[in-house]
Amino acid sequence: MKLIVSVKRVIDYNIKVRVKADNTGVDLANVKMALNPFCEIAVEEAIRLKEAGVASEVVVVSIGPTAVQEQLRTALALGADRAIHVETDELPEPLNVAKLLAKVIEAEQPGLVILGKQSIDSDNNQVGQMLAALAGRPQGTFASEVKVEGGKVLVTREVDGGLRTLSLDLPAIVTTDLRLNEPRYAKLPDIMKAKRKPLDVKTPADLGVELKQHITQLKVETPAQREAGIKVDSVDALIDKLKNEAKVI
């Protein structure tokens, strides 16, 4: 069975984000970038399925400018077999991503598609679901466990107060949650081998998709600064502040 994993290049999750002065977005100049953590988990899961003999090939896909090839190489170093880069100038909005992925799937005919449940930069949590709809395939979102058995995939989801397990017909779309696995590190010999693994570059036009913009981002702002707390020296002073400054009593 062939697996497709889609991955996104995002700002490293530990980096403190700086908003551009004109509020048009986040400053990405010379900022450390990494695989989106949920995508990293998706790659790990795919490789484990391959190691377990369930999958025969793992194909990683990423959409965006040339720089995303860096993350594709990381995924190849982690154990994916080949990569597809769909080249676009900017990172397209979720619906466009889903349309592009749907075309890739149509061409590749995988048995299972694994994606991160959301990317930590835009927090949309939409691509997996949209893709399932466009491809007309069942979806199992927020997976905390994935098992392939008898032509089905069993997806366990952590819901409020318990676990819920779904059985989906293959091919299916699965999105990963944080606790699904602990991703491995890229090993040096594999990093070196990854440089020679196949990486195809395609354009949206090659896939027959016209990118349309449906969403306009108005502005990006940093959260309002919280004022530092103060100490008061008596209960009276506290009551006074709560009444007259905070106006909560």
Partner 1 sequence: MNILLDSIEKVVGSQNVLRGEDVRSRTADWMTKEPCLAGAIVRPANTEQLSEVMALCYEANQAVVTHGGLTGLVRGGMASSDELVISLERMTQIESIDCVSGTMTVQAGAPLQSVQEAADQAEMQFNLDLGARGSCTIGGNIATNAGGIRVIRYGMMRDLVLGVEAVLADGTVVNSMNTMLKNNAGYDLKQLFIGSEGTLGIVTRAVLKLHPQLTATNTALVACEDFNSLTGLLQHARKSLGGELCAFEVMWSSYYSLLTTESNRHTPPISSDAPYYVLIESLGAEQKESHERFEKAIESAFEKGLLIDAVLASSDHQREKLWAIREDVEGLAHLLAPRFAFDISLPILEMDKYVRKLQSAVSQRWKNAKVIVFGHLGDGNLHVSVATGDASDETREAVESLVYEPLKLMGGSVSAEHGIGLKKRKYLNLSRTPAEIALMQTLKIALDPRGLLNRNKVLPDILA
Q: Does residue 185 interact with partner 1 by CB under 8 A?
A: yes
Stretch that binds partner 1, among 7-15, 149-157, 209-217, 238-246 (CB under 8 A): 7-15
Closest distance of CB 66 from partner 1, Å: 12
Confirm if 58 and 80 have CB atoms less than 8 A apart: yes
Count, residues in the chain? 249
CB burial of 17-31 (b: ≥16 within 10 Å; e: otherwise) equals eeeeeeeeeeebeee
The total of other beta-carbon atoms located within 10 Å of residue 190's CB is 15
Is residue 116 at the binding interface for partner 1, with CB under 8 A as the rule? Answer: no
Residues in 69-88 at the binding interface with partner 1, rule: CB under 8 A:
74
Min dist CB 103 to partner 1, Å, is 28
User: Angle 236-240-246 (CA atoms, 0-180°, nearest 5)?
Assistant: 140
Nearer to partner 1, 100 or 194 (CB): 194
206 near partner 1 (CB under 8 A): no
Binding of partner 1 by 232 (CB under 8 A): no
The yes or no reply on residue 192 touching partner 1 (CB under 8 A) is yes
How many CA atoms within 13 Å lie on the side-chain side of 237? 5
The only residue of 26, 31, 215, 237 in contact with partner 1, by rule CB under 8 A = 31
Phi then psi dihedrals of residue 69, to 5 deg: -60, -30
Q: Interface with partner 1 includes 66 (CB under 8 A)?
A: no
Q: How far is the CB of 34 from partner 1 (least distance, A)?
A: 4
**179, 187, 212, 219: residue in contact with partner 1 (rule CB under 8 A):** 187
Q: For residue 42, what are the contacts with CB-CB under 8 A and spacing of at least 6?
A: 5, 6, 7, 114, 115, 116, 175, 176
Cα separation, 247 vs 249, in Å, equals: 6
Task: Find the binding residues for partner 1 in span 8-27 (CB under 8 A).
Answer: 12-15
Q: Which residues sit at the interface with partner 1, rule CB under 8 A?
A: 12-15, 30-35, 37, 40, 74, 182, 184-189, 191-192
